[in-house]
Structure 1
């Protein structure tokens, strides 16, 4: 495996770990009414929005792997594990409250707002997820309205944030 593949697997494994911990926390709440109350609190809603952003990172990673043709058995397995963990999390959000339903709708599932196509502009590719880094309109807020540029490399803000907080203290740089 090359370093690009290793980095992606490492990041996806950490995403899976974050979702696993969230599932563990929510499964530990014995009553659905209490779970709903926790999720609808200000910190609970912020937590779910953060998890949704982490899922967006995983979907960009999946797109980047596909676009760069890095897919191998380990990557595919890890991507499936991330999706399973995310789908388990979604089961906690189906208590029917409009706020939770809105969070479900905002979660990426097939949206093309972050897809880059097979040949993104050279030099404008996020070094974490390998998809195109571009300015996004204010009308489609995804947390990545401005790219992060560090030592000549580009990153989506949420990709860089996740990497630095959950994977490694040094951002990946392939060039």
Structure 2
């Protein structure tokens, strides 16, 4: 297994763990109205938006795998596990609040939209997800911003997830 494959699997396993923990928490709430109240609170909504960003990192990883290398069986399995956990989590959001409905819509659109793959002539590749990181002038502000650290480029959300949930040292592209 290459070091790239190992770091992708490690990151996806942590994404699965984070989304799985959210599923456990929400499944532990026995009353649907309490679950709704929690999710619609300001901290609950912020938590769900954070989880959505974690899922977006997994989709970038998936696209990075498709464009860079043949996927190992373990990598394909881990990607399926993340998608299953995410789809289970979406069932908690189906009760109709506009913000949560937006997450449902964006999630389905993003998973059906092909993200652009790496193009070294136009940009650098994120050291975490292996996808294109556009130059600052081409990137709108927000979670798609990029950061350069020790000569390697990263999507902010990819680097943030890696540093907070995977390892204290960012992976570097060779």
CA-atom RMSD in angstroms:
1.6
Q: By how many angstroms is 1:109 displaced?
A: 1.9
Greater Cα shift, 91-100 or 7-16: 91-100
Name the structure 2 match of 1:147.
146
How far apart are 1:137 and its partner, in Å? 4.7
CA contact (8 A) 1:127 1:155 kept: yes
1:1-175 equivalent positions in 2, closer than 5 A: 1-107=1-107, 108-112=110-114, 115-117=115-117, 119-121=118-120, 124-134=124-134, 135=136, 136-138=138-140, 143-144=143-144, 146-175=145-174
Instruction: Report how far residue 106 of structure 1 moved.
Output: 2.7
Q: How many pairs does the alignment contain? A: 169
Given that 1:143 and 1:157 are in contact with CA atoms closer than 8 Å, whether structure 2 keeps it comes out as yes
Specify which structure has the higher proportion of helix. 2
Cα deviation for residue 35 of structure 1 reads 0.6
C-alpha separation in 2, matches of 1:171 and 1:148 = 12
Task: Map Cα deviations across residues 107-136 of structure 1 (whole Å, 9 max, x no partner).
Answer: 332234xx223x521660001000000145
Task: Please report how far the alpha carbon of residue 12 of structure 1 lies from its aligned counterpart in structure 2 after TM superposition.
Answer: 0.1
Detail structure 1 runs of 4+ shifted over 4 Å in the superposition: none
Q: What residue ranges of structure 2 are gaps of 5+ in the alignment?
A: none
